[in-house]
Structure 1
Amino acid sequence: MLSIRARNILLVSALTLLVILVGTSAAYIAMFYGLQKQEATQLEQDASLIDEAYRNGLSGRQPGGLEVDVYDQKSGERIYPSDVPALTLSDLNQTSESVLRRSYAGRNYVIVLQPTEFAGAPLLLAVRKDITYLQNVARDALTVLAGVVLGMLIISIAAVYVVTRTALAPLVDVSRQTRAINENNLKPIEYQGADDELGLLVGTLNRTLNRLGEAIHQQKILLAEASHELRTPLTAISGYLRRAEREVPEEQKQYIRDAARVAESMTRLVNDLLQLSRGEIQQSYTPHFIELEEQLQEVSRDFPGLEVQTSGLLEMIGDPERLMQVWRNLVSNAARAAGDIEKVHIQATRTGDLLRVEVVDRGPGISDEEKEKIFQKFYRGKHSGSSGLGLTIVAQIVRMHQGNIQVLDTPGGGATFSVELPALEEE
């Protein structure tokens, strides 16, 4: 798409060219036909004078660039010989048109027919004048006009460009500064122009940026305070669970270990949120050999009723705690959207060098507009019911594992979060 400056230049230049072409064309046509009409009128006057001269008994060719042929009015025969082709009887009988135009030997003539008498005999005078010079003058005039049009067009385009560039310079500068605005750069737009429409627009944008910056600052403060408040009870819960694991019977220790694992995951999540309040998450990464099928089965124990389907050799290198954050977050979001954990299931397969894990739900689904924003920080979808940080952390963890995550439509309704991770090479 063309810029505003380019569109203005093209529009004004086109209008200028149209005005120039219409004006010069009208002037050319008026000049050419005006000259022809003037020549015909003058020729009619000259024919009247010659008629008068013949009636008074004069004969011969007349000066002034005129040539006279004499025809018998009845037979149409030319009386005096001439090197110019004679008119036909049909031409001589055109009483409705007294001015004829003919071309001979590359020359253009205007001929006026004038009835007269000589010695009592009815004659017809054909007064002829060479007007070839008029075409030459018109052709030269057209060349001059074309040069004038081209020169005016070049000058007008240059003038329009200079004027448009000067007039739109503040708008271009504001547009450049606006493109640089993002969540990490909310600096007000600098504008030194008049308080016109652009000045009012810049003022409105700056006020909006100030309010947005304050809102983001308040979000970060709330996030930091909430994270600090949650760390203490989670630390205490982890301590109680470790002590309980030592004291309970062996058959109950698995439940304590599962609860401790969830508490540790929550503690890590709270730490991530605290870092997120200060900027981007600086996640630790401790790689281990992972049996993805076993890990997904652990997730199913945390969410009773969750079905897990796996196929192929699902082995990889990664941070197990971080990946558990991914699966728990995706499953909890899917269960919240679907309203029932039994409407959610996990499918894990291996395709070549990739492991694909799909968390599928039968909920209301996600619109195309939300799909483009769902992994953005603080974005909350219509059915999320969350703070808008979980999927941001999930996307960062997946990228940390050199993987990819996307959201798709579930056939028949719902949403599918598809995670692709590099698989461990088979020996």
Structure 2
Amino acid sequence: MPESYAAVMAADGSENPPWKDLPDSTPSVLVVDDSEFFADMMASEIENGSSFETISCYDGETALEKIERNDIACIVSDYRMDPVDGIELLETVRDEYGAIPFIILTGQGGEEVAIEAIRLGATDYVTKEMIIEGEEFSLLLNRIEQSVNHTMAQTELARRKELIETQRDNLEFLNEVLRHDIRNDLQIISAYADRLEDHVDQAGRADLETIQQSTDNAIELTKTTDKVAEIMLRQEVDRQAVSIRDIITEEIETIRAADPNATVEVVGEIPDVEVLAGQMIDAVFRNLLKNAVQHNDKREPEITVSATEQEEVLEVRVADNGPGISEELQQSIFGKGERGLESEGTGIGLHLVATLVDDYDGDVRIEDNDPEGSVFVVELQLADA
């Protein structure tokens, strides 16, 4: 038995794609009327005037069998039928097949029937007498098309929403594994490597330092990935007035402590102002400073940080004496997964920077440093602008 359109539309329509994605399926309009002549005539006219094939039947029980065995895109049913009338058929369809479009045909003056049908979930109604007289047949065709298209759109929307929710759940699970299981193991490796310092001879010290450095880098990567996942999982953008001077100063002190070979100087004073940002603004400057040190080809990296107030923004510049970044790479380096400077990293740190700054309605760009190296320029909106 082929998977029917009715089955696709069952429940909230979220578990299966619309009929157009089903293999070897042709959607049909099911016409139900206890007058064989009228049912066959309607089916023929609908098929000739639309893109649908049609199936006609002459009672509600047979209609349910047709729904089960065929790909039904829409049902057009008379109200007065025995032993199962149009309202009873509608209720059964809604209970068993969910959102499949259902248009009921009423007699002259059948407004009460139409109101009851709409209350029970009918998609629309058309007066049967006016169809016979030819006055509403084009209207019926139009309503069939609109009903099917609307229901397909709602089904696809529900399917995509469910897919997004599933992806969110998977991302949350993976983030939990990353934060707890993987990071915990890395921290254990780091602790044991530190304990080996007094037991490794000079020949093995370089290898031990490589293990320690790589482990530290991996731990930092899990923290950065955690921040990226937090951004992806949030419901709304976090944007408020944030005092920026202490944040930048703290990140500078952290990078100085982490790499004694690096020189990090502040040019001038960092203005004591508030910018429009969020709780993760520290990750912007942490990653820019780490990038300036880790991707520097000098034995002693030299980093300068400066900040100036302009008309409506605070401009922060992080300059280094590294190998520089080509103009071509400057255009793409903030992309997710982009790598530069012969890096062995993932490129996720700079992607995080760009994502956060964009969320804060700011801007980040790269300029050439004189005489060598690069300058990362961040512009953040002043809170009182």
Shared fold, TM over 0.5: no
TM-score by length of 1: 0.36
TM-score by length of 2: 0.40
Indicate the structure whose relative CO is greater, using CA pairs within 8 Å and at least 6 residues apart: 2
